[in-house]
Chain A
Amino acid sequence: NAGVTQTPKFQVLKTGQSMTLQCAQDMNHNSMYWYRQDPGMGLRLIYYSASEGTTDKGEVPNGYNVSRLNKREFSLRLESAAPSQTSVYFCASIAGASTGELFFGEGSRLTVL
């Protein structure tokens, strides 16, 4: 099983450029999440989607937008990238209410010059 798939795995942008990180899960999970992880740090929640059709801000939403395209897919968009957004981005999903196990993608390493 693929689980949670993120694309691209690596990306280099110049300041001001835009890009979209794609995430898809094949586990029929209801809730999906986007996190960022800076070097040596924990995970900080950017946005989440409790179910198809809903999205909510997390701890660090500024500079990002998201779209829950359908139950499988949850994308993260950077409209005007900044060096402070250089990070590793993780997508995750969970079956139901947030008391269970999160399944993570392999991460997308983004560098903004």
Chain B
Amino acid sequence: TQLLEQSPQFLSIQEGENLTVYCNSSSVFSSLQWYRQEPGEGPVLLVTVVTGGEVKKLKRLTFQFGDARKDSSLHITAAQPGDTGLYLCGFGGTYKYIFGTGTRLKVLA
């Protein structure tokens, strides 16, 4: 079973600060997804990364896939209270889709 570990587990920052969260595994991913989940809702897809070394940007969010495709990071620039939520990385190999342990982010106004 492939285990996805995310760090940090919790993060509380002030509005305007930058932050990075990480997703790591000992195995190689064919692709990896990042989701955000808000309270009382299901997760929603933010991005899919496929190629080693790939960088994708979504407004103030920057996603990077490690060269060896074993790790990924999510960087948020100038965080806003609307970024508050649970950030999950996920991977689906042969249909068995699993998620990382999650990073719970709180951005204070």
A33 with B41: CB separation less than 8 A = no
Please name all residues of chain B whose beta carbon is closer than 8 Å to the beta carbon of A4 when the two chains form the complex. 42
- In the complex, whether B62 has a CB less than 8 A from a CB of chain A is no
Question: CB within 8 A of B92: which of A41, A43, A90, A97?
Answer: A97
Min distance, Cβ B2 to any Cβ of chain A, angstroms: 10
- Taking a contact as CB atoms under 8 Å apart, the answer to whether A48 and B42 are in contact is no
Smallest beta-carbon distance A3→chain B, Å: 10
Cβ–Cβ contact B96 & A105, under 8 A: no
Measured CB to CB, the closest approach of chain B to A5, in angstroms, equals 12
Give the complex CA separation of A42 and B23 in angstroms: 13
- Does A62 count as interface, using CB distance less than 8 angstroms? no
**Contact A42 B101, beta carbon cutoff 8 Å:** yes
CB of B7 within 8 A of chain A? no
Contact B95 A98 (CB under 8 A): yes
Complex formed: what's the CA distance from A107 to B39 in Å? Answer: 11
Residues in A63-104 with C-beta less than 8 Å from chain B: 90, 92, 94, 97-102, 104
- Asked if A33 meets B97 with Cβ closer than 8 Å, knowing A97-B92, A99-B31, A101-B33, the reply is yes
The 8 closest A-B pairs by CB, nearest first: A98-B92, A104-B42, A42-B102, A50-B95, A43-B99, A101-B45, A98-B97, A98-B95
A–B pairs, 26, beta carbons within 8 Å: A42-B88, A42-B100, A42-B101, A43-B43, A43-B99, A43-B102, A45-B99, A48-B96, A48-B97, A50-B94, A58-B98, A59-B1, A94-B92, A98-B93, A98-B94, A99-B30, A99-B48, A99-B92, A100-B92, A101-B48, A102-B33, A102-B43, A104-B42, A104-B44, A106-B42, A107-B42
